[in-house]
Chains A and B, each alone.
Chain A
């Protein structure tokens, strides 16, 4: 049972923007960096955002991240059909002394 809560699904038309929330607590998001991952069916997760808002090389600036208090948000602008995937937030939890992932959000392009 994950300690990070995400909406099960979000959807929008091509070209639009979606945001995915990740709600945690002071023991995880509130005091540690958040990362975001994209997972296409049958493939390993791919890092999209790290340290709350940084993008690895090769990740387009359509993907953005932010953190406020004990919540984090992933934004995907200019939605494309190739963005249809599952998205997960992740961080470290100081109380658990373990890593944690969000419940996951499925993005659908209408």
Chain B
């Protein structure tokens, strides 16, 4: 059974940093691209970032480019999202998801339960 477990969320002040982790199990992690998606309170889904199988290729939404960094450790079956210069508008539940489109990043069958990030003073 595929399992994705996010952690690292919490309360952080504007301008601060936070690192999210997503631990994967139940599949060969190193052969799948991974993605982060967020959802602000009462709002829709927003695609945030993705990383290719080997970690060479990374992609970011314009809203987080230059502030967020995605990485992965295939030996630990974990994908990370390093967030810096956080803003109030980054407040959201952050989900990690597994790319099931063979690297196309077009659909995600498996999602984590999400971790809440709150940016507030």
Contact = CB atoms under 8 A, between A and B. Distances in A.
Interface of A: 2, 32-35, 37, 39, 44-47, 50-51, 56, 86, 88, 90-92, 96-104
A49 to B, nearest CB: 8
A50 B101 contact: yes
Given A99-B35, A101-B47, A92 B113 contact: no
Contacts of A97: 59
A57 to B, nearest CB: 10
Interface in B3-30: none
B95 interface: yes
A50 B109 CA distance: 9
B81 to A, nearest CB: 14
Interface residues of B, number: 24
Contacts of B112: 44
Contacts of B1: none
B119 to A, nearest CB: 20
Given A44-B112, A50-B107, A101-B46, 8 more contacts: A2-B46, A44-B111, A45-B45, A45-B108, A50-B100, A97-B59, A101-B37, A103-B44
Nearest to B106: A33
B88 interface: no
A103 B37 CA distance: 14
A92 B114 contact: no
A50 B98 CA distance: 14
B45 A56 contact: no
